[in-house]
Amino acid sequence: MLNEAITKFNFLFDWRPYQAKVLQNFSVHIQDDHFHIVAPPGSGKTILGIEIIKKIGKKTLILAPTLTIRNQWEDRLQNFFTTDCNFKQISFDIKQPSDITFSTYQALHSFYKSFNTKEAYYNFFKKHQIEVLLLDEAHHLKNAWWECLYDLKEQHIQTVVALTATPPYDSENSEIQKYFKLCGEIDDEIVVPDLVKEHNLCPHQDLVFLSKLEDQEINFITDFRLKIAQFVTDILKDKEFISFLKQHRFYAKTEENLEELYKYSDFFSSLLISLHQAGEAIPFEKLHVLGFEENEKIEFPSITNEWIQILFQHLLVVDRENLIEHETYLHILEKRLRKLAVFSKKKVNLVGNELLYKSLSNSPSKLKSITTIVQQEQQNLEDDLRCVILSDYIRKEYLNATLPEIKEIKKLGVIPIFHHVRTTTKNKNSLAVLTGNLVIIHSSNIAKLGLIDAIDNYNYTALKSDTEFVILSSKNSSKHTIVEAITQLFELGHIKILVGTKSLLGEGWDAPSINSLILASVIGSFVTSNQMRGRAIRVDNKNPDKVGLIWHLACIDTLDEFGGRDFEILARRFNAFLGISNNEKAIISNGISRLQLPDNFIDEDIQQQNKKTLEFSKNRDLIAQRWTNAISKGKGVIKELTFYNEKNEQFPKQKKLYYQDIVKYTVGEIIIGLSFFIPKFIIKNFNVLLQKGVVYFLLALSSALGLTFGYKIYKSTQLYLYFGLIHRKIDKMAAVILESLNRLNHLTTPINQIQIKTELLAEGNVSCTIQGANRYESTLFIKALDELLQPIDTPKYLLIKTNWFRRKLKLNNFFPVPEIFGVRKKECEVLQSCWNKHLGKSKLVYTRTINGRKLLLKARLFHIHNVNNELTKKNVVWK
């Protein structure tokens, strides 16, 4: 039943174009009783939320993560939707709800716990006829909050509206599933280019400043890796260990343990690979369970730390109860691993990701990076500089450090950063610290503070390590006053460099003048990183030409050609950022590749790259111009899947087998050979042609060709079938996905209005985009194509390419059936039908049977001939 009071209020202003577009599509998206929208800070999503509540027209509970954000909802409702700011049918008390009730997630959870039974909790909302839940900043939802909301949704709530700036994509998979289970799939998105175009966000650029490990840190990492390498070498030469592995029931009694073996296929794989690496001949019956034929050529993957890690994790944790008779030996193995510091809390970690990441992410080399950036930005902007540096920890223990002690600080944090900037900057009177429980300003700013607030409201004491600075504290019980006062000093330009914690300043804090943000946070998620970036890209009405720079820090592991774990995690976070590229042709996309960073890292690269980055930061006008140019060339964002024609490191032979070169050179060699061979053969055998006739001559020629070139032709054909024309295959696979989605009624857009564009990029990489589809359809399509091209994991169904040539050449190409088609066999058969139409004959295999698990394990372990062994990446591009 519609609520008249809610349906009557109207938006008093004009909708921005991107807001109008969201509202135009609302009626389609709300059909499943969910409306889930992603919109960055500054996009007016609160206003949109109120309009959506009006369109739904039912009693609503609006939930926000903080009281401040909760109060903003009421403020926007009164000021943007009523002429007299006097809409009465509201409540801030969840126990006494009204037509529109504003509350927080914490308050709802406390309210939920106050009921003796869940039924009483549900009945409360039924009694008050609250049928709509609006979840603001939905990425904040945690387990406890999720449970009381999801239960309420299942039992009573009719409609759920979810608003967020960044979905929690980097959370645990179970958390992500819970999030989407409550909020529904993303229906629409307001993107950064739209906001820059409408001048609701300023032009901006992400910059990455690199540092390298200090000698002590390099020695630590080198020693760790050498110890692990020596351990792996020694353990695979240890006869007692090899004997122990051969006694494991999976190996000693393979046929009797098939069901369990298939359940722990990774462990069985690691067992076989380890024994093979140790020089043991693997009997055929151990491989027969994988579906291999007796004469089939088998190439084992090389041993890696990851495989050894899987092996020991299973032996020492997962399977330990079943190995009780070997407990004494297992205890010896455990002690060896603990001595190497790679086994704790029931987790084996031979790769050392967390250990090495901690060393890299907290490297003191980043302190030098920060001072270099600050000095450069002081030159770039001079009096206009408004720089904020955000870190995770305060590190109060360094508050009174002397100059020699400052040079020895080995930890990243607010106070170490403050000291390093203080001792290297020319204008330290413009430096300040702002955290929840520590505020430091230069003594010259005390008088200026008095112009904002009465000095009597504050206590201040000189900082022992530098008496020019004072520690400031408020005499009032509330800390909000001091935060507001320091923020005003920053906005007025008395403070130009502000060092703070991400917990206080990273979300919700508003200072539009920020034009340089240095992210010295190492523990933030995608969500946190995006929220922190949001501080620097807001427009500043006092500075309409503002261009914001966001500086990211990465410590490079020069012993790792790809830069190491710190850079890897930073690169992963960039998937959540949409921004301008640095190459000649400016494009707007997500991902770190848009910054044109080196593929490999050596010392010279790091210095040269930093020099280029600092030079680039000088020209903010160019950044603004590049945004204007890039925006004019596109109409909106589209999803793109990039397929990297680069082989898995576990199969080093494959890295050399780029099909384009091999097929091209092999065919070229055959053509050149034939051009010399045929004339020479005719001259030499002309008498045969005259004496025995044309038929006999042709038979002799074909025999000679077969003997001379047959093997090369065979290998060329085999390689072509291994790798094929990859971009054309992906184009056909995309057509299979799209046609299958259409036949299963997942598309609402007519299929003849949707176009697939597949493009061959440099180095054999392939990009695939879908145009003309709505956001939901694009998401389904890219997700399904990505799953089809990913390495085999544990799909419910497999597709196996099969034809006469493949059977004869003993080639197997395995493809996982994407999740959307793999629920029931009926949907799988639709996919298979489309596959057969576009790509030729195939076989559908259900992997939850014994035979199916055989093929699944074979596909996962020995997919050296599998074209889908490359990596894919989902991008968002403005076009």
One domain, residues 184 and 299? no
pLDDT at 253: 92
198 domain-assigned: no
Angle at 610 between CA 608 and CA 616, to 5 degrees: 105
pLDDT at 714: 58
Question: Which of 154, 133, 141, 162 minimizes the C-alpha distance to 62?
Answer: 133
Q: Residue 641 pairs with which residues in a beta bridge?
A: 768, 874
Q: How far is CA 8 from CA 54, 55, 336, in A?
A: 8, 10, 73
Element (H, E) at 741: helix 726-743
Q: Cα(441)–Cα(462) distance, rounded to whole angstroms?
A: 10
Q: Cα(749)–Cα(746) distance, rounded to whole angstroms?
A: 9
Q: Cα(25)–Cα(247) distance, rounded to whole angstroms?
A: 63
For 148, phi and psi rounded to 5 degrees? -70, -30
pLDDT at 812: 65
718 domain-assigned: no
One domain, residues 105 and 169? yes
Q: Cα(697)–Cα(692) distance, rounded to whole angstroms?
A: 7
Q: Residue 768 pairs with which residues in a beta bridge?
A: 641, 758
Alpha helix stretches (DSSP H) within 493-564: 502-505, 526-534
One domain, residues 485 and 595? yes
Question: Which of 412, 341, 409, 418 minimizes the C-alpha distance to 566?
Answer: 412
Alpha helix stretches (DSSP H) within 744-824: 775-789, 804-809
DSSP string, 248-289: SHHHHTTGGGHHHHHHTHHHHHHHHHHHHHTT----HHHHHT
- Is this prediction's pTM over 0.75? yes
One domain, residues 438 and 537? yes
Q: Residue 455 pairs with which residues in a beta bridge?
A: none
One domain, residues 581 and 450? yes
pLDDT at 711: 56
Q: Cα(134)–Cα(127) distance, rounded to whole angstroms?
A: 19
Q: Helix 45-56 crosses helix 17-24 at what angle (to 10 degrees)? A: 30
One domain, residues 155 and 18? yes
For 145, phi and psi rounded to 5 degrees? -65, -40
One domain, residues 510 and 658? no
Cβ neighbours of residue 278 under 8 Å, at least 6 residues apart? 236, 237, 242
pLDDT at 143: 65
One domain, residues 266 and 392? no
Range of the domain at 128: 4-190
pLDDT at 697: 53
One domain, residues 587 and 698? no
Q: Cα(83)–Cα(669) distance, rounded to whole angstroms?
A: 82
820 domain-assigned: yes
* Spans of the chain, pLDDT less than 70: 1, 142-144, 169-173, 290-293, 296, 353-357, 359, 477-480, 506-508, 523-528, 645-725, 762-764, 803-812, 861-871
Q: Which tens digits make up the pLDDT trace of 464-504? A: 999 999 999 988 765 558 888 999 999 999 999 999 998 78
Q: Cα(725)–Cα(791) distance, rounded to whole angstroms?
A: 19
One domain, residues 93 and 151? yes
One domain, residues 10 and 86? yes
Report the number of distinct structural domains present in the chain.
5
DSSP string, 714-737: HHHHHHHHHH--HHHHHHHHHHHH
Question: Encoding tokens for residue 384?
Answer: 């206009």
514 domain-assigned: yes
pLDDT at 722: 45
Strand-by-strand arrangement of the 766-771 sheet = 578-580, 588-590, 871-878, 637-644, 766-771, 755-760
CATH, residue 609: 3.40.50.300
- Tokens 């193995």 locate to 333
Question: Which of 136, 77, 81, 80 minimizes the C-alpha distance to 108?
Answer: 136
Please, are residues 799 and 815 in contact by the beta-carbon 8 Å criterion? yes
Q: Cα(732)–Cα(834) distance, rounded to whole angstroms?
A: 10
Q: Helix 239-247 crosses helix 327-339 at what angle (to 10 degrees)? A: 130
617 domain-assigned: yes
One domain, residues 670 and 624? no
638 domain-assigned: no
612 domain-assigned: yes
139 domain-assigned: yes
Angle at 267 between CA 264 and CA 272, to 5 degrees: 125
